[in-house]
Each structure stands twice: as structure tokens, then as C-alpha cells.
């Protein structure tokens, strides 16, 4: 049996990055636990300081098939190329939509293995679209 995974990304603005990836992947921002109208209500009820509410965010596949993505605030910025990146299988027609959401198109490739575009998310994390 396969073991489930969570994909975790460091971020300067977890809420903003979560919103980008939710739109990019057809996910939704994870709703608050049952009994709470918002994450702010959850934070207040659990004595979580208001200034730390955006330190974390998560997105989930609304159909429950894909992994959960967790975004956590870190103090340092990105300094090097990712050692791991996402390949988004949305088709090349998705590139313009992703740019409109805040991604940057870096380079397009085509060889005997296929056709793909290297992109950066709003915080500079590399990913590919094919």
C-alpha cells in the first residue's frame, strides 16, 4: 500500500502562495475545522496570536485524490534553484492562465521527450508545465 504524502513549500506569504497554487492546480484553500466559520475564528478560539495567522496555509484537492499542499512562512528568501519541482500536467494552453495568476514564463523546451515550459510561481519556485 502506498503511503500518503504532503507537499510542503517555504514561503514569504503563505496565504498568497496557497491562493496561487489552488488556482493553478484546481485545488481549494483548506477550509477551517468543523464548527468554525473561518481560520480567524479558529485562531481566536485557540489563542493563536492574530499576527501569526498567515504563517501557514494549506490547499487540498476538492475530490480528495491529490496530496495536501502546506505553505509555511520562513524568514529567509529563496536563494537557489529548487532541487525538487512540480510538473503540472495542464497542457501548454495553461501557460497564459498561469502568467495571469502571477507566474513567470522562463523558457520553453521541445525535444524527443516532449514539449514543456519552465515557469516560476509568484515567489520564484520553479515548476514545469506540459
Mean pLDDT of 27-55: 90
Domain CATH code at residue 116: 3.10.180.10
Q: Nearest 5 degrees, angle CA 12-CA 128-CA 91?
A: 125
How many CB atoms lie under 10 A from the CB of residue 116? Answer: 19
Q: What is the mean pLDDT of residues 36-49?
A: 89
> What's the pLDDT at 77?
87
Mean pLDDT of the chain: 94
> Which pTM was predicted?
0.92
> What total of structural domains would you count in the chain?
2
83 in the same domain as 70: no
Q: What angle do CA 10, 12, 13 make, to 5 degrees?
A: 105
Reduce the secondary structure of 49-85 to three states and give it as a string. Answer: CHHHHHHEEEEECCCCCCCEEEEEECCCCCCCCCCCC
The vertex-18 CA angle with 77 and 31, nearest 5°, equals 140
Considering the domain architecture, whether residues 8 and 46 belong to the same structural domain is answered as yes
Q: Once rounded to an integer, what is the mean pLDDT over residues 114-130?
A: 96
Q: To 10 degrees, what angle do helices 94-101 and 14-25 make? A: 160
17 and 38 part of one domain: yes
Which grid cell sits at 26? 484546481
Of 26-30, 47-51, 81-85, 101-105, the one with minimum mean pLDDT is 47-51
- Domain holding 38, by residue range, is 1-77
CATH of the domain at 37: 3.30.720.120
pLDDT at 98 over 90: yes
| Domain boundary, last residue among 58, 77, 96 | 77
According to the model, what pLDDT value does residue 66 have? 95
Task: State whether 61 and 113 are in the same domain.
Answer: no
Is pLDDT at 50 greater than 80 in this prediction?
no
Q: What proportion of the chain, given as a percentage, has pLDDT over 90?
A: 79
- The percent of residues in the chain predicted with pLDDT above 70, rounded, is 100
Amino acid at each position: 500500500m502506498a503511503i500518503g504524502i504532503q507537499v510542503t513549500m517555504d514561503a514569504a506569504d503563505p496565504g498568497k502562495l496557497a491562493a496561487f497554487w489552488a488556482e493553478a492546480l484546481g485545488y481549494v484553500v483548506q477550509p477551517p475545522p468543523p464548527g468554525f466559520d473561518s481560520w480567524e475564528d479558529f485562531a481566536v478560539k485557540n489563542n493563536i496570536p492574530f499576527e501569526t495567522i498567515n504563517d501557514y496555509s494549506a490547499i487540498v484537492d476538492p475530490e480528495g485524490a491529490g496530496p495536501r499542499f502546506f505553505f509555511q512562512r520562513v524568514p529567509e528568501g529563496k536563494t537557489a534553484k529548487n532541487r525538487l519541482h512540480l510538473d503540472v500536467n495542464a497542457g501548454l494552453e495553461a501557460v497564459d492562465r498561469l502568467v495571469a495568476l502571477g507566474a513567470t514564463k522562463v523558457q520553453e523546451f521541445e525535444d524527443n521527450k516532449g514539449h514543456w515550459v519552465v515557469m516560476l510561481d509568484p515567489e520564484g519556485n520553479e515548476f514545469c508545465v506540459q
